[in-house]
Structure 1
Amino acid sequence: MDENIYQHFRKAEAPFINQIADWLQDVSDQYRPYLTDFLDPRQQYIVEAIVGEKGDTHYAFEGGYVAAERKRALLYPAYFTPEQDDFAISLFEIHYPVKFSTLSHGKILGTLLNAGIRRDVFGDIMTDGQRWQFFVVANMASYVQSQITKIGRIRVRLEKKDYTELLMPKDAWTLEHTATNSLRIDNLVSSVYNISRKRSKGLVENGKIKLNWQVFERPDFELGLRDIISVRGFGRIQLREIEGKTKKDKYRLLLGVLRK
C-alpha cells in the first residue's frame, strides 16, 4: 500500500485501510473474488477511493436493495462478472404479536449485538411502520435464526424471505443543499435542525449523537464524505458531497437528511 494513501484519511481509519490492502493482496494472489462483510457508507467511500477504477482489481457493492446504507463489497479480478448471488445476503422478516407490542430499530439492533453478533454481519434494518426486516450475511443466517427468539420481552420468530418479498421502507432520505462555515458536527446539527449551537454541542457531549453508528462526544470533529450522524430525537444527516465554496468562503454541501 502506498504510504501517501494514509494522509488522505483519518488516523483512526488506518487499520481499515490496511485491511483493504490485505483484501486486494488476496484477490491478486488467488486471482479470485473477495467478499467483505457489511460496510457502512464511510467505509464504502474508502474502498472506492483506494481500489479505484483503473487497476486490475474492480469492486461492486450490494446491500439487498438499491437504497441500502450498509453494503457488502466484492473485490474481483477483471475476468469476473459479479451477480447478485455472489454477495451472499439473506433477508429475514421478524414475526411478532403486532396488536400487543411494538418494535424499534434500537431494540432490534441491541438484541442482535447482545446475542454476540458483530455489527458488520448484518445490514440494514427496515420497517414499513409495522413489519420489520433485516439483512444478514448468508453464512450466519442459521445461527441468527436460532439465537433470536425474543426482542426485549417480546417473543419473535425470524422467517427467511426472498428478495421479491422485500418491504417498502418507510424512512426515505431527502437531499438538501446548504452552506456552512465549517464541517463540525455541532455546526451541521445546528444548521440542519434549526437549533442553537449550544444545544447541538450539548447533544454531542451528552452521548445523544452517533457517528457511523458509534457514540461520539467531540462536537468539534469535522465530518468527511459519506459520514452519517444519528441525532437522537431528530433523525440522521449524511454528508453526500462537498460542492465547493461560496464567495463568502462557506462550504457548499449536499446532505442526505432524515427527519423524525
Structure 2
Amino acid sequence: MKHRIDRHVLSFWQDKEMRLEAAHLLDLTEEAMRKQLAVRTPFLGLGLAQWFERVLQKESLSYQARGGFPDAERVCYFLGQNTESLEYLPEGITLLAVVSTDPHVNLEHRQILGSLMGLGLKRELVGDIRPGVQGMIVAVVDEITDYLLLEWCKAGRVNIRVERVQGDLMLREDPGEERRITVSSSRIDAIAAAGFNVARGVVQEWVRQGKIKRNDLIISKPDLEVKSGDIISCRGQGRLRLCEAGETRKGRIGWSIILYRIQKR
C-alpha cells in the first residue's frame, strides 16, 4: 500500500520501539485521511505528542488533544478532516477515583501504575495518574473502564475501591517548588543534578540505570541538551519543569524551574 505521509519522518526516532509507536501513529493518521472518519490515538507522552503534532500540522489534519485533566501531560489525539467532525465526538476518556479500603493506608503513583500493568494492560491505555483529595485519580480510555470497575480490586497488597469520578474533579493541589538554578551548560545531567540537588555523577548513574526521562521518554545520553518547556523526571525523585533560561553575568546559564517531589502522605 502506498503511504500518503512521507515515512522519512520516522528517522527522528533512533529507538526501535519508539519508531514502531510513531509508525502506528502515521497509520492512524492515514486511516483518518483515507476513510474520512474520526480516529483516536492511544495516550502519548509529551515527547511523542510534540513530534506527532508537527506531523499533523504539516498534513493540515484537524485534531484535538484530550487527557481527562485540564492540564494533562499524557493525551490522546482525536483526528478528523475538519474541526466540526471532532466537536461532537464522545470524550473517549474516563476518570476513575481509586481509594484504599483502609483509611490508614495511602496510595502512591507507583502502586497504581504497577497494579494496572499487573492486570496485563498496556501503558498506552492509561493517561495521567494524579493525587486526589482522597486516593488517586486515573485517566483511562473508555474501552477498559468497565473491566477495571469489575476486576481492579488491589494496588500491590492494598485493597482498593474504584469508581467513576462524578461531579467536580477534586485534585490535591501540588503547586511545586519554584527554584532558580545556575549551571555551566543545558545538558540534562547538569540540570537534573542542580534541580534534584545531587552530584552530577549520581545523575549520570541514573541515566545508565534508565531512571531519567525527558518528556516521558527514557534517555540514554547524559549530554542531551534540554530546552524551555521540557519535563525531566527521575524514578523515585520527582520531576522538574523547565521554565525560562538566561545567561548570568559570569557567563553561566540561569534556569527557572519548578520541582515536583514524590508525594508521600
| TM-score range for the pair, normalised by the shorter chain length | 0.7 to 0.9
Residue 61 of structure 1, CA deviation: 0.5
What is the CA distance between 1:247 and its match in structure 2?
A: 9.4
Identify unmatched segments of 5+ residues in structure 2: none
**SS at the partner of 1:188?**
helix
Displacement of 1:212 after TM fit? 5.1
Q: Which amino acid aligns with 2:9?
A: I
1:141: Cα distance to partner? 0.5
Query: Would you say the 8 A contact 1:123–1:134 is kept in 2?
Result: yes
In 2: Cα distance, 1:224 partner to 1:207 partner: 21
Q: Does 1:160 align with 2:164?
A: yes
Aligned pair partner of 2:30 in 5, 21, 25: 25
1:169 aligned partner: 172
Give me the whole-angstrom Cα distance separating, in 1, the residues matched to 2:146 and 2:192. 40
Match of 2:100 among 90, 96, 102: 96
2:233 partner amino acid: S
Matched, 1:47 2:52: yes
SS at match of 2:138: strand
Report if aligned partners of 1:177, 1:254 keep a CA contact under 8 Å in 2. Answer: yes
Provide the C-alpha distance between the structure 2 equivalents of 1:138 and 1:38, rounded to a whole number of angstroms: 12
What is the CA-CA distance between 1:148 and the residue it aligns to? 1.0
- Single out whichever of 41-50 and 222-231 deviates more from structure 2: 222-231
* Structure 1 residues 214 and 247, CA gap change in structure 2 (3 angstroms): same
Q: Is the 8 A contact 2:75 2:127 kept in 1?
A: yes
Letter in 2 for 1:190: A
Structure 1: tracts of 5 or more residues without a match:
none
Judge conservation of contact 2:47–2:216 (CA < 8 Å) in 1.
no
Identity %: 27
Partner of 2:144: 140
Contact 1:127 1:169 (C-alpha < 8 Å) held by counterparts: yes
1:258 matched to which residue of 2?
Answer: 260
Name the stretch that deviates more: 73-82 or 232-241. Answer: 232-241
> What is the TM-score of this pair, normalised by structure 1?
0.81
Contact 1:226 1:240 in 2 (8 A): yes
Cα distance in 2 between the residues matched to 1:193 and 1:238: 12
State the Cα deviation string for residues 88-132 of structure 1 (Å, max 9, x = none). 111111132343322111111100001101111111111136421
What corresponds to 1:86 in structure 2?
Answer: 90
Letter matched to residue 24 of structure 1: T
* Contact 1:205–1:217 (CA under 8 A) maintained in structure 2: yes
Amino acid at match of 1:107: Q
Q: Report the count of equivalent residues.
A: 256
CA displacement, residues 151-171 of structure 1 (integer Å, 9 cap, x when unaligned) = 122211211123x33222333
Query: Aligned partners of 1:157 and 1:137: how far apart in 2?
Result: 19
Aligned-residue offset at 1:244: 8.4
The one-letter code matched in structure 1 to 2:138 is F
